[in-house]
């Protein structure tokens, strides 16, 4: 019963130490030195090849080292293998910080002040109180809910949208595709925290932008595949949207001539909104192995039919 690690060397060092301390009964192996492939019950990786997956006859769980599983081709993962995405406090903390920063940057019109500074213009603007700026979050999972909780004390009117709805204290909730237009119509700042699936690919598109109020701004911290980049440029250039904070792109890293690099209404960051933290993620992963061994559902276990 061994664990196979296939990710960065530094994370491997931290995780190897955590396994030695917390799970000495689970031998820790680092790809490509897998030893006897028949021993491997658990595999943690960002991406895996079909050959690797099918060369592990006793694999029980595939752990993604990131918050999503969209980088994996789930159709290549043998049916009995459980798939688990990363849900750990370091990832949540990073996302809360980034989404709060991006919301405040847009609310406090930092794109305009960035331009004014570049132009040497001293150009104060009236300050809109937070209760005049409606913020909406698409995706009410682990991260979406944490971001909403962090934004609440500022006084923004908050709304959230997800497949199944539910309740979140202090947040107006919209559920399902039919409710998307009503949700979007009340978002001055829209934050995308959806997983990338067949249903959500391209959801930030011309049609959605036109359902947002004129002057709205977007923050994409989901995946690059959520955004139709040409539609964002058109909506910004027409003035319908006022700005965007973009952390993820369809193709990363951005090409040298990508139009987002120099767009005055876009703040672009290189997929850094949050990152799996090596120490806290090791503990979460080992706790999940223990759950699995006890026949319990693991935290972050993916519903393979839904794709998230």
Ligand X SMILES: NC(=O)c1ccc[n+]([C@@H]2O[C@H](COP(=O)([O-])OP(=O)(O)OC[C@H]3O[C@@H](n4cnc5c(N)ncnc54)[C@H](OP(=O)(O)O)[C@@H]3O)[C@@H](O)[C@H]2O)c1
Instruction: Tell me which residues are annotated as active site.
Output: 223, 271
Based on DSSP, count helices (H) and strands (E) in the chain, helices before strands: 9, 12
Residue 164 near ligand X by CB under 6 A: yes
Q: Which of 52, 63, 141, 288 binds ligand X (CB under 6 A)?
A: 141
Residue 67 near ligand X by CB under 6 A: yes
- Biggest alpha carbon–alpha carbon distance for the chain: 68
In the complex, minimum distance from the CB of residue 61 to ligand X, in angstroms, rounded to a whole number: 17
Residue 103 near ligand X by CB under 6 A: no
* Size of the residue set binding ligand X (CB under 6 A): 30
Residue 83: beta bridge partners?
62
Q: Judged by CB, which is closer to ligand X: 35, or 176?
A: 176
Determine the Cα–Cα distance for residues 215 and 242; give it in Å rounded to an integer.
5
Q: Given the structure tokens 């500074």, which residue do they identify?
A: 117
Q: Which of 152, 202, 198, 224 is closest to 307 using CA atoms? A: 198
- Show the tokens assigned to 178: 């039919």
Residue 105 near ligand X by CB under 6 A: no
Cα end-to-end span (Å), the chain: 27
Determine the Cα–Cα distance for residues 219 and 134; give it in Å rounded to an integer.
13
Residue 142 near ligand X by CB under 6 A: yes
Q: How far is CA 39 from CA 23, 57, 115, 121, 307, in A?
A: 16, 9, 58, 66, 28
Q: Which of 222, 236, 241, 288 binds ligand X (CB under 6 A)?
A: 222
Residue 200 near ligand X by CB under 6 A: yes
β-pairing, 241-246 with 266-268?
A: parallel
Q: Judged by CB, which is closer to ligand X: 136, or 139?
A: 139
Q: Which of 6, 139, 188, 217 binds ligand X (CB under 6 A)?
A: 139
Q: Judged by CB, which is closer to ligand X: 56, or 221?
A: 221
Segment near ligand X (CB under 6 A), from 13-21, 108-116, 139-147, 228-236?
139-147
Residue 199 near ligand X by CB under 6 A: yes
Q: Judged by CB, which is closer to ligand X: 96, or 289?
A: 96
Residue 194 near ligand X by CB under 6 A: yes
Q: Judged by CB, which is closer to ligand X: 104, or 180?
A: 180
Q: Judged by CB, which is closer to ligand X: 27, or 186?
A: 186
- Show the tokens assigned to 170: 């202090």
Q: How far is CA 242 from CA 7, 107, 135, 252, in A?
A: 39, 11, 14, 24
Residue 159 near ligand X by CB under 6 A: no
Cβ contacts of 202 within 8 Å, gap of 6 or more: 225, 226, 227, 228
Contact residues toward ligand X (CB under 6 A) are 67-68, 87, 91, 95, 139-144, 162-164, 193-197, 199-200, 221-223, 247-248, 271, 273-274, 308
């Amino acid at each position: 019963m061994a664990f196979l690690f296939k990710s960065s060397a530094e994370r491997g060092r931290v995780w190897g130490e955590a396994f030695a301390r917390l799970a000495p009964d689970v031998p820790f192996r680092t790809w490509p030195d897998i030893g006897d492939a028949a021993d491997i019950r658990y595999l943690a990786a960002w991406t895996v090849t079909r050959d690797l997956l099918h060369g592990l006859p006793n694999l029980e769980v595939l752990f993604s080292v990131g918050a999503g599983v969209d980088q994996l081709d789930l159709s290549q993962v043998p049916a009995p293998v459980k798939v688990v995405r990363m849900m750990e406090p370091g990832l949540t903390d990073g996302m809360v910080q980034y989404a709060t920063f991006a919301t405040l940057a847009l609310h406090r019109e930092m794109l305009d002040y960035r331009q004014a500074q570049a132009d040497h213009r001293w150009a104060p603007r009236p300050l809109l109180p937070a209760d005049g700026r409606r913020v909406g979050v698409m995706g009410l999972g682990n991260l979406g809910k944490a971001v909403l909780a962090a934004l609440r004390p500022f006084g923004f009117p908050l709304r959230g949208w997800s497949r199944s709805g539910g309740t979140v204290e202090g947040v107006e909730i919209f559920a399902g595709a039919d409710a998307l237009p009503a949700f979007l119509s009340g978002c001055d700042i829209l934050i995308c925290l959806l997983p990338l699936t067949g249903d959500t690919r391209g959801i930030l598109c011309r049609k959605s932008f036109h359902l947002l109020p004129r002057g709205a701004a977007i923050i994409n911290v989901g995946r690059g595949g959520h955004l139709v980049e040409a539609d964002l440029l058109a909506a910004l250039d027409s003035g319908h949207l006022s700005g965007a904070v973009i952390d993820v792109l369809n193709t990363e890293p951005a090409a040298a001539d990508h139009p987002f690099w120099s767009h005055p209404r876009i703040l672009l960051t290189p997929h850094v909104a949050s990152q799996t933290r090596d120490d806290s993620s090791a503990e979460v992963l080992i706790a999940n192995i223990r759950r699995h061994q006890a026949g319990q559902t693991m935290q972050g276990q993916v519903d393979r039919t839904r794709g998230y």
